[in-house]
Chain A
């Protein structure tokens, strides 16, 4: 059951970082055991270019994201800034 939680948790975060568009790039993509996303393709524009995004959070939002994603993961999702 717990595996479900970590997978869904990571999936929810990934989805929100992709502006809540469902990414159907690879359904079988296996996140690591703690939900860290192995590869996270950013959503693309109609021209096939990545969309850059800014992320703004409060303390809780920061803790939620940093528990599953590292700075490099964020960058690969098109979130360009880091602390």
Chain B
């Protein structure tokens, strides 16, 4: 087993070197920040489902870009990425590359088309595009699983950083870390239950600003205090690299070229299939805004991602000077690495309130992302499984109630799994990306770009994707939760289809299965094909309009009059049926 894989499986959860004690000023910062979130959530509280899911679709470029950024910059980016770059060197950069460059693929192939399709959730897309409630259910289960796996990493991050701020609060026989998991998750769920997505969206812009300021200010302060950098630490850390251990920058010492490619590929396609990312495109006014807010979102994400390797370089150097050797045995533990951003600030002897600010940013990152994940996961349950399949006559009240109950359920499951997590933050999150990439990305891509993709093809493809992902998870991750089993069950399977990058194998297989089965069975109905065509038509659509509205209400007229008249004609259509 490589040193990197060994580091992945450590679950030592008391970060060495981190000052674990109750700290008044940083506590006030965190509590104050959370109160601001709750207050904003309260002001924008909502009771009807339309607002709950997509914020009435009224959000512009910049704000949506910030929401994309905040949604993206989870504990995995804020804490986990610097951690992997510090411990796994060049392999850690696969995360920087995968988590940014995937947005370009999303932009050129999917963003605007999905906005035109105009459905609220990933399962809605799959269900409506392939005319199948089974497909919808698989999509919903996948969305729920993604939210769950992804959130475990967030919970681990919140709790580790919480240790620095609130100290060791072990109660009821729980360790300090475990107590912190429960406290932090209760806060997240409480906040989410109060506000719907409109509140969350407004908050996400606020959270983005807090988070990026905390991270970048932390980087500048650490760089300046130790004489590493002055005006542009994002470039200046380059000069430090040669003085660090060779493991930091030498290629393929911690992981193979194949694992690098598999990981980056998985993260890229996962980006294009992640439900809580895609739901952001349903909240914008039109497809042009969908495109530009992706560009803005990527810019906001890059600001953090250019900073993370610099933070990792500074942190690695400070750790080696103050605590011990970073690499080798024992080396830096995965829990210390996961808080290296906070640790670097602490070891730089910066004022306590300032270190607290950096730590608070980490908590904000985790809460913002968990919020988005839980919304997507709960809407999968209440909207796609409950309302669409179980109880089609559900009232608004019932839907909102089921939505809130499923948020609580997700919170409880996540808390339990995070009490003894199987891997560091970034690895946990990557499993969710592999799943999104293997199951949802091929459906979005083929569903949008090949109109003959049909129900049978989609069902076969999604089942194949789930199976492949499941095999790699059972091989490597599940055994760590079960006593007496050693992970991985098969070392050669783990080498060629690593759980962290299983989409590299899954995506081509799922594409092939979907295409072959679609070709072997009947073509989808003409109306479905027309909806796909409408998603690619350059003709603008109105804010509340979906591709289906156009096809069912205005299609005929549009063909005859060339657009204008049909547009006016169909204006009355959907409005009349809705009110």
Answer yes or no: are A and B bound together in one complex.
no
Please list the residues of chain B having a beta carbon within 8 angstroms of any beta carbon in chain A: none
